[in-house]
Structure 1
Amino acid sequence: MKQIIIIIVSAAFIFSCKNKMENTAASDPDIKPKTIVTATYPSDTVQLNNTITLNATAAYLLKSDVKANSNGYITKMTIKLADRVNRGTLLFGLQTKEARALGNTINKLDKSFRFTGTSTVVSPATGYVAMLNHQIGDYVQDGEVLAAITDADSFGFVMDVPYEYLQIIKDKKTLPITLPGGKTLQGKITKIMPAADAVSQTVKILLQVSDHTIPENLIGTVTFSKTTAYGLSVPKMAVLSDETQSSFWVMKLINDTTAVKTDITKGVETDKYIQIKSGDLTTKDRVAVSGNFGLSDTAAVKIQKP
């Protein structure tokens, strides 16, 4: 009899528990999965600089040729390749073919004649010896190029600037030039070429620097601001778009568990921030900056604390 009573009580207990579970399941709505996101507040104090970076190549715009001033043999040479010389420095000594053949015979006959048959060639500019074509003993013709001297006054960095940025460049007096290794020089804008490249539609600009020890053809970078703006902005990762990049939005948190799609209009964009020109957004609203990709409107979220 006791066993029958135990079985009946157990069955009633199980039936009661089953009913409670069914009632609980029926009363609770469908539970949405929550996406873990991180959130931040928009800022209205960030300065947005839309910058442009262009390459600039070190170059000498002018190289002066050192030419022989008579036919003859090179009897003296005071320079080597890459030497620095000043304007007027003696570079070469020349002796005519006739003077070499006669030697000092004429002077021995008449000392007052003072015939030497020699001439000197001096540097036409201050700079470095960029090319050296001859050596002592060579016979050269009048007007033949003996060497080439870079003109230090023409040294600078040449930069190809797209025409649409030309006016921005003209408004500036100097631009920073960053060299490989991180060294920065201030380049003074001294020349703007009067012609544009027919294919690339760029204009060459010369930036002169005070350091003339930089090797020719070294490439540096010049960065300048295209536009500067202030206003409401959000981190770049907070802004989402469609496949055609024609509409943009952010996921705004209306509470700790719900994010809604909020359409915006973009303004100035940098590598870190995007300006919000219009949209239902203030500095008091929170926006999702990670975990927001692919979220639908009115998505269930869980904020991850940093």
Structure 2
Amino acid sequence: MNELLLYFFRAHSALRGVGLAVTLLLFTQCGGASPADEAVAEEEVHARAAVTVGRVQPDTVTDVLHLSAVTAYPAKDVLRATTTGYLIAPVPVLGQRVGAGQTVFTLQTKESRTLHLDKLTGDPRLHFSGIIRIPSPRAGVIATVDKLAGDYVQDGEQLGTVYDQTRFGFQLDVPVTQLRYVRTGQHCRITLPDGRVLEGVVAEALPAADVSIQTQRYTIRPVGKVPQLPENLAVTVDLDKTAPQVANTLPREAVLTDETQTNFWVMRLLNDSTAVKVPVKTGPEQNGRVVVLSPKFSPHDRIVLTGNYGLEDTAAVKLTR
């Protein structure tokens, strides 16, 4: 009986020793992080995307139609030779201003040059000197000079052109799908290639459409002083499609899209370390800001502005200032 009690006592002591060893092992593994574990944790912190955030703000925006146009001088006169002969000096130069009825080109017939009739004009019996003067039918500026002094020209050959600068304007081709947004008398903004902006008004619609590209041409007259511009200069014309309205907007860089630009979304912060993907429906863009039609964000919602490119849904982030 005593031997049996001694056996159970020794077995109980052995089990207590094993339990103590297991307890010490678990304590060693769970009680503190090793240097390697600390390095992994620190790497995870550094792997978070550094982002900046902002909030939606109300802005007054207008839906704008952007179209291309070109400068044009619709009132132009082509000066042609009225007979066969030689062009004599002086010949006008490009950019020279001429008045209505002013002689621009002077021709001498070949008979006159052969017989020297131009030197016999003092004879009152000689009523034809062989000198033909070609005037400008209207005041304007010399746009092209196609012949030089001494050139032999044929009857009807083009000598140059005169542009009426008072009729200067822009030719705007409007797609037929956008005609409802353009009307005569409508004001618009004309942006030149160098960034200057001119005010303009839609003057008239030409009663013809381009069959191949289905556009209708309008004439736009500039308002106020206009710089000297060449013909066929490409410009941009902005016309307001809607009246100004107040809407919530975000900076352009806050709104992300796919390669087809059919789906749009923003990254919204759930907390200081997590951003989630929120699909949005966008409206017009103006001055670098995009209208967000839906959903309706609260003024307290924090939207990722920078560092959002390539972030997946429920991404780990780190706020920066």
TM > 0.5 fold call: yes
Secondary structure (helix, strand or coil) at the match of 1:231 reads strand
1:131 aligns with 2:176: no
**Matches of 2:245 and 2:82 in 1, distance apart?**
62
1:207 counterpart (217, 220, 223): 220
Structure 2: 5+ residue stretches without partners:
1-18, 33-40
Q: Distance in 1 between matches of 2:26 and 2:184?
A: 81
Q: Secondary structure at the match of 1:230?
A: strand
Deviation at 1:134, TM superposition (A): 5.4
Give the Å deviation of 1:304. Answer: 0.9
Distance 1:72 1:221, change over 3 A: same
Q: 2:194 aligns with which of 162, 181, 190?
A: 181
Query: Deviation string for 1:237-287 (max 9, x for gaps)?
Result: 4445678766655443343344445454x1314274443333363112223
SS at match of 1:80: coil
1:220 matched to 2:212: no
Please, what TM-score do these two structures have when normalized by structure 2? 0.66
Does residue 192 of the first structure (1) align with residue 208 of the second (2)? no
Structure 1 gap ranges (5+): 1-11, 26-30
Following TM superposition, by how much is the alpha carbon of 1:158 offset from its aligned partner in structure 2, in angstroms? 2.6
Bigger mean CA offset, 119-128 vs 92-101: 92-101
Partner in structure 1 of residue 27 of structure 2: 20
Cα distance change on mapping 1:245 and 1:18 into 2, 3 Å? farther
5 Å-filtered alignment, 1:46-195, equals 46-70=59-83, 74=87, 77-94=90-107, 101=115, 103=117, 113=125, 115-117=127-129, 118-125=131-138, 126-133=140-147, 135-136=149-150, 138=152, 140-141=154-155, 143-170=156-183, 173-195=186-208
Range moving further from structure 2, 48-57 or 119-128: 48-57
Structure 2 residue 291 is matched with structure 1 residue 284: no
Could you tell which deviates more after superposition, 191-200 or 16-25?
16-25
C-alpha spacing 1:136/1:124, structure 2 compared with 1 (3 Å): farther
Which residue identity does 1:278 align to in structure 2? S
Change (3 A) 1:13 1:173: same
Alpha-carbon spacing, 1:21–1:259, altered in 2? closer, same or farther (3 Å) = farther
Q: TM-score by structure 1 length?
A: 0.69
Q: Do the aligned partners of 2:189 and 2:238 also contact (CA within 8 Å) in 1? A: yes
Structure 1 residue 305 and structure 2 residue 305: aligned?
no
Residues 188 and 240, structure 2, Cα contact 8 Å, conserved in 1: no
Deviation at 1:16, TM superposition (A): 6.1
> Residue by residue, what CA displacement relative to the aligned partner does 1:99-138 show, whole Å, maximum 9, x if unpaired?
6638499989xx6645234443211222214133353474
Cα offset, 1:199, TM superposition: 2.7
Per the alignment, in what secondary structure is the counterpart of residue 26 of structure 2? helix
CA 174–303 in structure 1, closer or farther in 2 if over 3 Å, else same: same
Quote the residue 2:56 is aligned against: 42
* Cα distance between partner residues in 2 of 1:54 and 1:131: 33
Paired residues in the alignment total: 283
- Counterpart-to-counterpart distance in 2, 1:212 and 1:280: 46
